[in-house]
Structure formats: structure tokens, C-alpha cells
Amino acid sequence: MYPLSVVVPVLNEEHYLERLLRNLSAQKGVLLDIIVADAGSKDKSREIAQKYGARVVEGGKPPVGRNNGVPFAKYREILFLDADVDFHENFVCRCLDDMKKKRLVVATVLTNPESDRMIDRVLFDLWNFWVWTTQKIYPHACGCCIFSHADIHKKIGGFDPNLTLGEDSNYALKASNVCRFGVLDKEINMSVRRLDTEGRAGMLKKMILCGL
């Protein structure tokens, strides 16, 4: 049984948060401590979090929310998740098994779009290819799913709140300088709402800028 604290930054996430917390409660082989860092939601996000026994702390923008959640973690092993992800009941345990086998301290996973559109599949495949091939020379990560450790988080100064783009990849890069980092060959399902709101071309531009 792996003890693990999970930190989820939210802002008006009632449409996704319940699914995430339901999935977390169904995870096998893990003892979870869930912290929801709320940035002032006006919907039922806080109520949903409390319904599933999660502790609610003050959040902010995603890097701020993630950083704010860590001091409240009961366990040293930390999992940062976004609210709009989905995964099977063995996902977390299998990731932790792989990390133990590969002796990784910080790790991320590959992403799979919750979409039937070919362009979305292509964009996600491009990102996954980039993350996988650069992991040993210039690490990148998606903030939707990062496994870390409280001591490493503190040592590298957490997520940089001053970055408006790529704070998750910056976190992976900093962590790789002080511990063993890797990309797991596991996929987490992720909504494409950012593609819908920001446009496919806009997100492709951000991916390129983040990579650079």
C-alpha cells in the first residue's frame, strides 16, 4: 500500500472535480490524502471536495495552488493532478510501481486526449513524442500529472509562480538536476477544453514555445 498525498488546484471545476475524486477513491493499492487548493471558486467545487473527504486550502493560479497544497500533505510522496483528467483504477499504483522499479523520484506520464478529432490526437502525439525523447537531455512535463516528493519540491523551490507558460516543464528540469527524473509509459486521459477555448493553432504555438 503506497501512502500518497494528492494536490489538485481548482477554480470552478464542478464539472470535472467529482469525476476525478471518484476515480481517486477507487484507486487500488494506495492510501490517499487529497488536498484541493481552491482559487476562489463560485460554483460547487468546495462542496464536492468536502463530500469526498478532501481537505480544501487556499489556492491561486495553478503553480500557486500546487505550492500551497504541499505544506498540508500528510505524506512525503506527492502527486500533482489537474481536475480534468481521467484514469483507470490501477493507474496510480502502476505508476508508483514503475517509479520504484526505475528508481525515479520525480516523474510524469504521457497524455491522451478525450476527443475523437484527428487534429487533437496529432497534437497530443507530438507532445508525447517531445516529452519522451527529451526526458534525459532537457526534461519536460505536463502539470496535469506529476509525481514528486515533498523534500525535492522544497529543495527546488516548488513551481515558479512567475512563469506564465511551462512552469510544469521548468519544475521537471529543476528536479532532474537534483534527483532521478523520468517519463512513465503510462497514459492519463485529459480533456481538450483548452484546445476548444484557446484554439488548436494557439495551443500548438504554446507547445512550441514551451519546448523552446
pTM value?
0.93
Q: Compute the average pLDDT of residues 141-166.
A: 95
Average pLDDT of span 180-206: 79
Q: How confident is the model at residue 102 (pLDDT cuts 50, 70, 90)?
A: very high
Q: Which among 131, 165, 182, 138 has a CA at the least distance from the CA of 63? A: 165
Residue 87: DSSP 8-state: -
Q: Which residues pair with 188 in a beta bridge?
A: 111
Q: Which residue ranges form the domains of the chain, and what is each CATH number?
A: 2-211 (3.90.550.10)
d(CA 72, CA 178): 23
Statement: residue 206 has pLDDT above 70: no
**Which tops the pLDDT comparison, 91 or 210?**
91
C-alpha dist (Å) from residue 163 to 69, 105, 180: 18, 23, 24
How far is residue 158's CA from residue 70's CA, in Å, rounded to a whole number?
A: 9
How would you classify the pairing of strands 106-113 and 145-149?
Answer: antiparallel
Q: What percent of the chain has a predicted confidence (pLDDT) above 70?
A: 92
Q: Could you tell me if 5 and 75 are in contact, meaning their C-beta atoms sit under 8 angstroms apart?
A: yes
